[in-house]
Amino acid sequence: QVQLVESGGGLVQPGGSLRLSCAVSGISFTTKSMAWYRQAPGKERELVAYISSGWIKNYADSVKGRFTISGDNNKNIVYLQMNSLKPEDTAVYYCHVEASYPPIWGQGTQVTVSS
- β-partners of residue 18 are 82
pLDDT band at 3 (very low <50, low <70, confident <90, very high): very high
Residues 6+ apart with CB under 8 A from 24: 2, 3, 4, 34, 76, 77, 78, 95
pLDDT at residue 100, rounded to an integer: 86
pLDDT band at 99 (very low <50, low <70, confident <90, very high): confident
> What string of H, E and C letters represents the secondary structure of 25-60?
ECCCHHHCCEEEEEECCCCCCEEEEEECCCCCEEEC
